[in-house]
Amino acid sequence: MRTQHDRTMPPTSGGPRRGLVAAILAVLRRHRRALAAGTVRVVGLSGLAALLMTAVIFALAWPVFTRMRNQRVWYHYLEDPYLHDLSGLRLVAFTTLPLFLLLLGAGGAAVQTVCSRVVAAGSDEPSREIRSRAAVVERLRPVLTVYALRGLIVWTLPLLVAYVANSLTGYHLDTPEPLERGSWPYTLVKASPAAALLVAVVLRLALTLAPAAAAGGLGARAALRRSWSLTWTRTGAGRVLALALPLAALTAGVLRLVVQLALPLRPLVRSLLEQATGNFFAAYYAGILTPVLVGILVTAAVTLPLTCTAFAVLHDRLGAPRTSDRGAAVPGRGSAGICPAASGAEDSVSPRPF
């Protein structure tokens, strides 16, 4: 059970941000073994699944690579420059992209569940119980559902607006009457994707705490409503933004650094695969994907525990009761493995319409 000291850790410099950072670091330090073990297990299994999935996709797409190789040989025979057609590869990429997104979502959901359990456990629950596979699998479905619903809510509008804007302002030979360049309708339509992207960023920030709420015990739709309610409070939006910006910058920086360091793998993989298969194009695109996959896996192993723990602690803090008996237990609501914010925040934050 969480002690009152853990729930009301005083700020070290008089501001709430230092208290939040101190609480996050305390959780990371106290449960470093459980977090490390869970992260290594999830990232390792995700890496093996990604490798197997990539191999299967390349095997299924082998006729596309064979056709590209044959066209290159034919154009070389005609002594004409060959510009290979990427339409087949684009179709393969768009078809298989949901599978990789599902894999990333499942891995993130598993890590989020482990992190939310260590935040809810405090210092009393054994690490073996925190890393319980049954508990992680039990909350995996609602957290993964939250990721899917949040993606639909956030990215549907900007993608739709970008498609419509490109159809109206893009260069198309078959468009009989495009919008006149320089006119105000053209300017508004041209700027609409940027406005839609800004709306998507705001929605994404408002729903940042939803995975932590789902991992704490709420259903998918209730977790989205909880995140919306906790964010649009007097201190919620500022804390979410102050935590999300440095974590996003850290993730982007680590990803870029690891991808750059893994670039020497590109010619190695390309050479080995070309010697084994005799297909230049399959080896070329496999070499391109290798540093990216390595970068994603290493970045997930480094930043996911920190990010998930940070937002789980923030969700716990924003959902904590603000009355004088803040540390008192609510009869009939506490249960092992369920975040107190997910069970008691209804009494402290009045939810707003989602």
Q: What DSSP string runs through 116-167?
A: HHHHHHTTTS-HHHHT-HHHHHHHHHHHHHHHHHHHHHHHHHHHHHHHHHHH
CA distance 126 to 197: 44
CA distance 231 to 318: 8
CA distance 150 to 262: 31
Q: What's the Rg (C-alpha) of the chain?
A: 24
CA distance 158 to 171: 20
pLDDT at residue 316 above 80?
A: yes
Region of 351 (left: φ > 0; alpha: ψ -120 to 50; beta: rest) is: beta
pLDDT at residue 342 above 50?
A: no
Share of the chain above pLDDT 70, in %: 74
| Burial (0-12, 13-18, 19+ Cβ within 10 Å), 153 | middle
The 10s digit of each residue's pLDDT in 17-42 is 448 888 888 888 888 888 888 889 89
pLDDT at residue 7 above 50?
A: no
Largest Cα span, the chain: 84
What is the CA 307 to chain-centroid distance, rounded? 10
User: Residue 134: what pLDDT?
Assistant: 62
Q: What DSSP string runs through 256-289?
A: HHHHHHTTTHHHHHHHHHHHHH--HHHHHHHHHH
CA distance 244 to 16: 16
User: Higher model confidence: residue 176 or residue 135?
Assistant: 135
The 10s digit of each residue's pLDDT in 183-200 is 788 788 888 999 999 999
Comparing 62-66, 145-149, 250-254, the range with the smallest average pLDDT is: 62-66
Share of the chain above pLDDT 90, in %: 33
User: Residue 89: what pLDDT?
Assistant: 80
Residue 308, token pair as written in the block: 């998930």
Residue 240, token pair as written in the block: 């979410």
Write the CA distances from 104 to 50, 65, 116, 134, integer angstroms: 9, 26, 18, 20
User: Residue 93: what pLDDT?
Assistant: 84
Comparing CA positions, the residue from 130, 132, 139 lying closest to residue 110 is 139
Comparing CA positions, the residue from 314, 103, 348, 105 lying closest to residue 212 is 314
pLDDT at residue 155 above 70?
A: yes
Comparing CA positions, the residue from 106, 94, 99, 110 lying closest to residue 54 is 99
pLDDT at residue 234 above 50?
A: yes
What integer best gives the mean pLDDT of the chain? Answer: 78
pLDDT at residue 5 above 60?
A: no
In the block, tokens 């260069």 appear at 171
Comparing CA positions, the residue from 325, 340, 277 lying closest to residue 61 is 277
User: Higher model confidence: residue 78 or residue 256?
Assistant: 256
* Beta carbons of 210 and 223 less than 8 angstroms apart: yes
* Beta carbons of 293 and 54 less than 8 angstroms apart: yes
* Beta carbons of 297 and 326 less than 8 angstroms apart: no
Cα three-residue angle 246-251-256, rounded to 5 degrees: 125
Tally the residues of the chain.
354
User: Higher model confidence: residue 332 or residue 252?
Assistant: 252
Q: What DSSP string runs through 49-92?
A: HHHHHHHHHHHHTHHHHHHHHHHHHHHHHHT-------HHHHHH
The 10s digit of each residue's pLDDT in 108-124 is 888 888 888 888 776 55
